Amino acid sequence: MPQQDQGGRTPEKQEQLDPLRDRPEDGHLTTNSGTRLHDTDNSLSAGERGPTLMEDFHFREKITHFDHERIPERVVHARGAGAYGHFRPYESLAEFTKADFLQDPDRSTPVFVRFSTVAGSRGSADTVRDVRGFATKFYTREGNYDLVGNNMPVFFIQDAIKFPDFVHAVKPEPNNEIPQAQSAHDTFWDFVSLQPESMHMVLWLMSDRALPRSYRMMQGFGVHTFRFVDAQGCGTFVKFHWKPLLGTHSLVWDECQKIGGQDPDFNRRDLWEAIETGNFPEYELGVQLVPEKDEFAFDFDLLDPTKIIPEEIVPVRPIGKMTLDRNPDNFFAETEQIAFHTAHVVPGIDFTNDPLLQGRNFSYLDTQLIRLGGPNFEQLPVNRPVATVRNNQRDGYGQQRIHPARAAYAPNSLSGGCPAVASPDHGAYLHYAERVDGAKIRKRSESFNDHYSQATLFWNSMADWEKEHIVAAYRFELGKVDTREIRERTVDRLNHIDNDLATRVAEGLGLTPPAGPAIPNHGRSSPALSMAGQEGLGPATRKVAVLAADGVSAADVRALRDTLTAAGVIAEVLAPHPGELRTADGGTVAADKALTTMASTLYDGVVLAGGEESVRTLAANGRAVHYLTEAFAHNKTVAAVGDAVELLRTLRLPGVRLAEDGDGVVDDHGVVSAGGGAGPTEVAETFTEALANHRHWDREVDGVAA
């Protein structure tokens, strides 16, 4: 088994990268051709106040390089964040696939993952309503395998030829380039309302799945049906699933909009900080396997990427775990230049005739050529396979390799026939010998025609709060659509999914609700589609704001910090000013950040520490009070310790019972308090448990969280 360093790098990979790594500390400043420089602050000029001279090669090189720093951003998925890690299978999957990296539980394979939004530009905010990309490059011994997935298991269109239409519709409108990174505008809704195959995916997009709390708490899906191939050449259909061990969790829309201003890098920062602090994100890879003989056993077509295979019909079998444990050293070199390609496959993994996948297999290579400036992008450090590359492809922009052989062709005798092709026994990729026979036609298969049943399945599977959020999202989005016919047409489409959904959306838009369902609801559901109950491992890595001011109880702060930290929770003390706070007993505690630089939206829970003077100060501080009411409105866990309970009482949080004098700890709808009967540690313990629920959806809050 090859040794790994912490970042999941094999020594081979490390060695490849090292000669290319910049070591600024090792020497002097030079030009790109290596000439040492004595001044980089002043241009060469004719006299102190004279013109700059053409001869100034350092100036010209520096400015020219700067002028050429930018490369085209990705046409979609422009904004992203990446990390290195490694993947290890739980057991051999030889029964289904000969893929080398899925054979041996003792062997781990280095990976790079890039998470992304789809519609926004490179500088857009993280917390927009959008699909998220979840693209994984496995640097296997048999070559790179790229699993280029999303955080939703279906897609908007069934055939790749519609992709430019779809992307043009969702991107900012061409006349004024408005709006940035949003689907809430006329062209998007015009397109999708005329394209019923998009209805299932649009429903996912209107759900909280489009607002992930963290890339660490997000599922991933390969979307298409792929094919595993075993050593005997037998195929098995496969769908890929990533499941985060921290559970699947989302923000709420009101938070997303605020965070867009407060911390546009919210998801990127979260990933970076988690890895820096050793809280390595983990995901389980699962597969749904369908024997070839069952290809037509479903009431949908396995080749149709607008359909899932419900987990209740074909369970997801966990096959391995991925851990992300190293941040990139340079965003541009690694995260920006990584080039994914759905056709980066290894022996044992093959395609199906899903028309979306077939088109992607063309697009990803093509897009790298323009974005990375030519055919040698695979030689960029982050793209280099750990497997040896050897072929007769030559030259091109940015060629890094020196090919000493005279013969760059096959067959040849001058190089002894090398490089020679391999047999499948020696690891050669052999395309699955699928029998194909057909007339040339432009026609969608009839088996792709049902656009609504799985949208209805998704809707039926939602918890009440999820449904409420979906309705609110449609109202928001369509409320931004100026053209009345588009709004009406969308409501009509929704009425093919569910009459209640269509009625609620129509009412919110002031439109006449449909008289009755266009198609009766089939009543089926699939519990795995709901995020309710996907709690994950507990409260670890959640962030909590502890509110305090001068005069705070040192014992409260200590108990909170100790208990939360012991559970792996990140506790930050926020105060009117950062630095040292005076405590009630005459000592000091550290305040990590100022209340003004943060917001409740950036935390998973808020706790108010006790201490008479501190509580009095915070009660008069509108911002501190807003932390509490806002966190409550977003259904987060809120707590008050000791005499801080009285401040919480003045807020009259609707439907919540707070502890009275002498009571022990009370947790009512995730609002935790205690009377004299319990100390700060017990409050902190109950708070920590409640935090693991992510949110408390049963609160009586009037639609703010939606």
> Which chain residues interact with ligand HDE by CB under 6 A?
74-77, 80, 114, 116, 133, 135, 148-150, 155, 160, 163, 223, 338, 340, 356, 359-360, 363-364, 367
Q: Is the peptide bond before 419 cis (omega within 30 degrees of 0)?
A: yes
Judge whether 150 counts as a catalytic residue.
Answer: yes
Using the CB atoms, write b or e for 52-78: b if 16+ within 10 Å.
eeeeeebbeebeeeeeeeeeebbebbb
The CB-of-446 to ligand HDE minimum distance in angstroms stands at 21
The CB-of-426 to ligand HDE minimum distance in angstroms stands at 31
The CB-of-14 to ligand HDE minimum distance in angstroms stands at 23
Nearer to ligand HDE, 172 or 679 (CB): 172
Q: Is the peptide bond before 179 cis (omega within 30 degrees of 0)?
A: yes
Using the CB atoms, write b or e for 515-535: b if 16+ within 10 Å.
eebbeebeeebbeebbbeebe
The CB-of-11 to ligand HDE minimum distance in angstroms stands at 27
Nearer to ligand HDE, 157 or 494 (CB): 157
Q: Residue for token digits 């040849």? A: 412
> Rounded to whole angstroms, what are the CA distances from 536 to 131, 149, 267, 705?
22, 21, 19, 22
DSSP 317-335: EEEEEEEEEE--S-IIIII
Nearer to ligand HDE, 148 or 502 (CB): 148
The CB-of-75 to ligand HDE minimum distance in angstroms stands at 5
Can you tell me whether residue 203 is helix, strand or coil?
helix
The CB-of-124 to ligand HDE minimum distance in angstroms stands at 15
Token digits of residue 154: 């279906």
* Residue with the shortest CB distance to ligand HDE: 133
Nearer to ligand HDE, 183 or 541 (CB): 183
Nearer to ligand HDE, 125 or 595 (CB): 125
The CB-of-4 to ligand HDE minimum distance in angstroms stands at 23
Using an 8 Å Cβ cutoff, are 222 and 252 in contact? no
The CB-of-365 to ligand HDE minimum distance in angstroms stands at 8
Q: Which of 58, 77, 249, 451 is catalytic?
A: 77
Nearer to ligand HDE, 362 or 397 (CB): 362
Sign of CA pseudo-dihedral 183, 187, 190, 194? negative
Judge whether 68 counts as a catalytic residue.
Answer: no
Nearest to 469 by CA among 306, 669, 635: 635
Q: What's the rounded Cα separation, in Å, for the pair 88 and 693?
A: 29
Nearer to ligand HDE, 155 or 452 (CB): 155
Q: Which of 150, 383, 495, 499 is catalytic?
A: 150
Q: What's the rounded Cα separation, in Å, for the pair 334 and 20?
A: 12
114 contact partners, CB below 8 Å, separation of at least 6: 80, 81, 82, 133, 135, 335, 338, 340
Nearer to ligand HDE, 149 or 310 (CB): 149
The CB-of-133 to ligand HDE minimum distance in angstroms stands at 3
**424: amino acid identity, one letter:** P
Nearer to ligand HDE, 355 or 670 (CB): 355
Using an 8 Å Cβ cutoff, are 185 and 135 in contact? no
Token digits of residue 654: 């609707």
669 contact partners, CB below 8 Å, separation of at least 6: 655, 656, 696, 698, 699
DSSP 490-524: HHHHHHHH-HHHHHHHHHHHTPPPPSS-SS-----
Q: Which helix (H) or strand (E) holds 208?
A: none
In this structure, the chain runs to a length of: 706
Q: Please give the positions annotated as active site.
A: 77, 150
